[in-house]
Amino acid sequence: MDKKLLDAAMAGDTAALKDLIAEDPLVLDRALVSCVSETPLHVASMLGHLGFVTELLSRNPELASELDSHGSTPLHVAAAKGHAEIVKELVLADPGVCAVRNGDGRTALHVAAAKGRVKVMRELVRVGNESTRALTDRGETALHLCVGCNRLEGLKVLVEAAGSDDDFVNWKDCDGNTVLHIAVAKKQTEITKFLLFKTGVNVNALNANSATALDILMQSPRDLRDMEIEDSLRGAGAQSAKDVRNIAQDWVRAPTKERQISRHRGSALSSRVSVSMKPAGNKKPTDWLGRKRSSLMVVASLLATVAFQAAITPPGGFWQDDLQVDENGNPVASPHTVGTSVMATKQGKEYGLFMIFNTISFLTSLSIILLLVSGLPIKRRRWMWIQMVIMWVAVTTLVITYFITLRHMSPNDENVQIMLRKVTEISVLTWLTLMVVVFFGNVIRMNLWILRKYGYIKSKEVDDELEEVRTED
């Protein structure tokens, strides 16, 4: 490219461009045929010189379709930089440039989606919905790129442009992943909620590994966002791949409008009642054990962290110096060593209680984590109840540790001690009351479960279905 033309493009100097064209009418044509990496339109589009871009396009519209050394058009460059007005001028000059893919296999809309350039995306979508259907080399739509780069606002623009086209929202990439699979894998809470409740995404779609979005969540490393995402998925009817296949098999085998009530091990009626052959995906699943396992894992991890921190930073801190003898060389009454606990030196009995209860809380929390990740067949309700009891022990001992710490940190002032005693009495009484209520509540639930299991009482779901059958008959 001529140096003067390059300088004019970098400065956005329209007057200089006109002077150059007046001196040499073929200066722009020479820029097209020269072996340079960028045309003056690429440079002006990248730097946002709207007036210079408009003048170039009016003189030579062919510049809009030229490629640089990376296979990018000026539209790719302007879209990446977020220059919406320049994008508008380039599209008016050559609408077909929207479909051109660069060296990475991406169109200008793909680039804008990955960068989160919302205004640019609106301009490109306005040209025609065909550009939104373009795919990358990995079979990804612009939706996949928005979700992969966590661009919620850009995602909303594309969904609005798609309207009622659910096929677009449910498009799968080369790995069979929909945008919901990607959002869940990246733990994007807001995007997951938007896809579930504002679009027609298939919540139980299977990817190339035959996994649903719920399967991906359960197989990923657990963190605090998982519970919120899982609640959203289950609220939208999400199921595991195993459950989806079972429902599909039941749909094929069962006759339309047939009701089946089967007997199980001599009991009066089974809890399984097939009322209609409508897919069960419309019913909210009740994976009680799965939710409990997830909750126990999160809570146990938090308790173990708190207990570990309390052990390495006990109340009162650590001695910062050594004191074994006085200034005359005589042994002191209360010697101490640097790095040892102040509480252990001054209040040995209270320190012993503190460490006992804190250690119990720490080890019981770790035991729950170990059981959950051990792979042992402990997925029955009775095993879950045992782990819940262990959790009660961990929480209770941590509460005791808290009150020991509070007592140690409080001064010996009479008013302070009276207030501390009252607070402790009220708190302990409230805690014991809560524990008793929880204990008897679970005992009642366990008894009801045993009675239903052995047929002494009927399941409420079976009674409801039978009543509906009698009514329709």
* Residue-level pLDDT at 35: 57
Which of 119, 134, 163 lies at the terminal end of a domain, its last residue?
163
Summarised one tens digit per residue, pLDDT across range 99-157 is 899 999 999 999 999 999 999 999 998 886 677 888 998 899 999 999 999 999 999 99
Q: Is residue 76 part of a domain?
A: yes
* Residue-level pLDDT at 394: 84
Residue 151 amino acid letter: R
Report DSSP state, residue 268. S
CA distance 152 to 100: 25
- ∠ at Cα 415 (412, 421), nearest 5°? 80
Beta-bridged to residue 336, according to DSSP, are: 323
Structural domain harbouring 376 = 288-409
Summarised one tens digit per residue, pLDDT across range 4-38 is 888 888 898 899 888 888 888 888 877 777 756 78
Q: How many other CB atoms are found less than 10 A from the CB of residue 204?
A: 22
Q: How many other CB atoms are found less than 10 A from the CB of residue 444?
A: 10
The CATH number covering residue 22 comes to 1.25.40.20
CA distance 441 to 347: 40
Q: Is residue 303 part of a domain?
A: yes
**Claim to verify: residue 216 and residue 312 sit in the same structural domain:** no
Which of 183, 216, 248 lies at the terminal end of a domain, its last residue?
248
Q: Is residue 5 part of a domain?
A: yes
Looking at every residue in the chain, the average pLDDT score rounds to 79
**Claim to verify: residue 92 and residue 153 sit in the same structural domain:** yes
* Residue-level pLDDT at 278: 38
Q: Is residue 158 part of a domain?
A: yes
* Residue-level pLDDT at 80: 93
Q: Is residue 86 part of a domain?
A: yes
Beta-bridged to residue 341, according to DSSP, are: 318
**Claim to verify: residue 10 and residue 108 sit in the same structural domain:** yes
- In the predicted model, residues of the chain with pLDDT beneath 50 are 250-286, 461-462, 469-470, 472-473
User: What would the two tokens of residue 22 be?
Assistant: 């007046």
CA distance 177 to 180: 8
**Claim to verify: residue 197 and residue 301 sit in the same structural domain:** no
Q: Is residue 465 part of a domain?
A: no
**Claim to verify: residue 157 and residue 209 sit in the same structural domain:** no
CA distance 401 to 358: 6
* Residue-level pLDDT at 467: 53
**Claim to verify: residue 147 and residue 64 sit in the same structural domain:** yes
Which of 380, 409, 438 lies at the terminal end of a domain, its last residue?
409
In contact, 460 and 270? CB cutoff 8 Å: no
* Residue-level pLDDT at 380: 62
**Claim to verify: residue 300 and residue 342 sit in the same structural domain:** yes
**Claim to verify: residue 231 and residue 154 sit in the same structural domain:** no
Contacts of residue 171, Cβ cutoff 8 Å, sequence gap at least 6: 141, 143, 144, 178, 179
**Claim to verify: residue 177 and residue 320 sit in the same structural domain:** no
**Claim to verify: residue 365 and residue 388 sit in the same structural domain:** yes
Q: How many domains does the chain have?
A: 3
* Residue-level pLDDT at 473: 47
* Residue-level pLDDT at 276: 34
Q: Is residue 317 part of a domain?
A: yes
Q: Is residue 463 part of a domain?
A: no
**Claim to verify: residue 179 and residue 143 sit in the same structural domain:** no
**Claim to verify: residue 158 and residue 35 sit in the same structural domain:** yes
* Residue-level pLDDT at 420: 76
What is the DSSP code string of 356-415? Answer: HHHHHHHHHHHHHHHHHHS--S--SHHHHHHHHHHHHHHHHHHHHHHHHHHHHHS---HH
User: What would the two tokens of residue 421 be?
Assistant: 């005693």
